[in-house]
């Protein structure tokens, strides 16, 4: 398997981590970085032992793939330039500012048979991966994504900054068209929406209730899935997954919490806390991107998935501003 020549465009807080992690991927050859701040580019290039390019065009001439970790309003322009030059792209979320821009990038990548993936990192969180062996068909989903205020990234709303992670997860769990969106939100400490709640109703009757805030006193990243005979909670922040379900026979890995029912019709309430393999989710995300470029059948977050999450986020913001 060949090494893929890769560059990172935008080496702020998140782009720096992209750059550091590419050094630890055997089939990635980190060529260099580019940033609108030349001094920052030189600093990260020195730290990661690669080249600092004075502009994006110079970097694109030397690579086969890029991570784009710039502000969202520049994603479309940079990715379009890269795809035009036959360069594979991993774009940090949200994929673009508008759905039309996302559709355009998806078409370009498909026409040129290029890999286009989106940085929805929670898809790779080990707490969520612990559910891979379980059948998840939720009827109700509740998420809370809360964070203390930070001045970084406040140019976009909390819906595009934080809630979009949970929107993406909901869309992977509920495979039915979205029927209705109800949402509310408010700007508190910035000019954009800082706290928001959205209720998503799907054609099959499933409901997702999402809350996101960046003015919380504590950090919380939890999603709860409710379905027939079971309840699952995933704590992305602390990497803990817990499963409660009704059953008649318990597995060795399960505990009996109590019994419910009447007479001979009692069922056990079983509890399971799967062992979580702690790992670097960003490293797995970037390695998946590289392996996809090399033709492996691995599951990355596609451009379409990024587009679909953006579409719901845009509708939520439309509802809020109404």
For 190-206, write each residue's pLDDT tens digit.
888 999 999 999 999 99
Using the predicted structure, report yes or no on whether residue 262 has a pLDDT greater than 80.
no
Domain boundary assignment for the chain: 4-120+282-301, 124-278+311-321
Tracing tokens 């690579």 back to the chain, one arrives at 63
The pLDDT assigned to 144 comes to 98
The pLDDT assigned to 306 comes to 98
**Longest alpha-carbon distance in the chain:** 76
Task: Say if CB 163 and CB 313 are below 8 A apart.
Answer: yes
- The two tokens of residue 203 are 């054609």
92 burial level (CB within 10 Å; 0-12, 13-18, 19+): buried
Q: Which fold has domain 4-120+282-301?
A: Rossmann fold (3.40.50)
Q: What does the pLDDT look like over 59-68, one tens digit per residue?
A: 999 999 999 9
How would residue 248 be classed by pLDDT, with cut points 50, 70 and 90? confident
Using the predicted structure, report yes or no on whether residue 118 has a pLDDT greater than 70.
yes
Q: What is the mean pLDDT of residues 122-139?
A: 92
Its pTM stands at 0.93
Tracing tokens 């990355």 back to the chain, one arrives at 300
Instruction: State the first-to-last Cα distance of the chain, in angstroms, to the nearest integer.
Output: 52
CATH code 3.30.360.10 for 124-278+311-321 = yes
């Amino acid at each position: 398997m060949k090494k893929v020549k890769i560059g990172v465009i935008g080496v702020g807080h998140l782009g720096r981590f992209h750059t550091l992690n590419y050094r630890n991927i055997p089939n990635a050859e980190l060529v260099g970085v580019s940033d609108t701040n030349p001094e920052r580019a030189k600093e990260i290039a020195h730290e990661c032992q690669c080249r600092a390019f004075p502009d994006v065009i110079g970097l694109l001439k030397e690579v086969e793939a890029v991570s784009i970790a710039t502000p969202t309003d520049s994603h479309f322009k940079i990715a379009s330039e890269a795809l035009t030059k036959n360069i594979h792209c991993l774009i940090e979320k949200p994929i673009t500012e508008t759905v039309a821009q996302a559709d355009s990038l998806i078409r370009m990548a498909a026409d040129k048979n290029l890999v286009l993936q989106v940085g929805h990192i929670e898809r790779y969180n080990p707490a969520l991966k612990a559910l891979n062996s379980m059948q998840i068909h939720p009827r109700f989903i509740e998420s809370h994504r809360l964070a203390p205020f930070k001045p970084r990234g406040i140019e976009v709303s909390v819906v595009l900054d934080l809630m979009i992670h949970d929107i993406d997860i909901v869309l992977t769990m509920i495979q039915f068209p979205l029927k209705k969106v109800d949402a509310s939100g408010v700007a508190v400490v910035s000019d954009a929406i800082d706290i928001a709640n959205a209720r998503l109703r799907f054609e099959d009757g499933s409901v997702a209730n999402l809350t996101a805030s960046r003015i919380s006193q504590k950090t919380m990243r939890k999603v709860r899935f409710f379905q027939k005979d079971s309840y699952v909670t995933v704590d992305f922040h602390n990497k803990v997954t817990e499963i409660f379900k009704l059953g008649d026979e318990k597995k060795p890995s399960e505990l009996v919490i109590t019994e419910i029912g009447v007479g001979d019709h009692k069922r056990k309430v079983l509890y399971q806390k799967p062992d979580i393999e702690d790992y670097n989710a960003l490293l797995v995300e970037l390695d998946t991107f590289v392996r996809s470029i090399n033709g492996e059948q691995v599951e990355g977050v596609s451009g379409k998935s990024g587009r679909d999450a953006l579409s719901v986020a845009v509708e939520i913001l439309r509802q809020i501003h109404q």
